[in-house]
Homo-oligomer: A and B are copies of this chain.
Amino acid sequence: MLATRKSQTGQNLTINGDRLWSTLMETAQFGATRKGGIKRLALSDEDRLVRNWLVAKARERGYSVGVDDLGNIYVQRAGRDPDKLPVAMGSHLDTQPTGGKFDGVLGVLAGLEVLRTLDDAGIETDAPLCLINWTNEEGARFAPGEMGSEVFAGDVERSFALTRMDANGITVADALAGIGYRGTERTGERRFAAMVELHIEQGPTLEAEGVPIGVVSHAKGQIWCNGVVEGRESHAGTTPMHLRKDALTAFAEFALAVEAIARAEAPGGVGTIGVAEIGPGSRNTVPGGVQFSLEFRHPEAQALARMYADAHAAAARISNARGVGVMVEKIWSKAPVTFAPEVVETISHAADTLGLKHLPMISGAGHDACAVATVMPTAMIFVPCKDGISHNEAESATPSDCADGANVLLHSVLALAGVHQKAGG
Contacts and interface: CB of A to CB of B under 8 A. Distances in A.
Contact of A248 (B204, B234, B273): B273
Interface in A249-288: 249, 251-253, 255-256, 259, 262-263, 266-267, 269-276, 278, 281-287
B283 A237 contact: no
Quickly give the copy total for this chain.
2
A297 B283 CA distance: 13
Interface of A: 201-205, 208, 220, 222, 224, 233-243, 246, 248-249, 251-253, 255-256, 259, 262-263, 266-267, 269-276, 278, 281-287, 293, 295, 297, 363-366, 388-392
B364 A205 contact: no
B201 A238 contact: yes
A241 B259 contact: yes
Contacts of A391: 235, 282, 285
Nearest to A236: B272
A239 B293 contact: no
User: 3 nearest interchain CB pairs?
Assistant: A203-B238, A237-B364, A252-B252
Contact of A234 (B205, B224, B253, B388): B388
Contacts of A202: 235, 237-238
B270 A259 contact: no
A234 B286 CA distance: 30
Contacts of A241: 259, 262-263, 266-267, 269-271
A239 B203 contact: yes
Contact of A237 (B243, B252, B297): B297
A295 B285 CA distance: 10
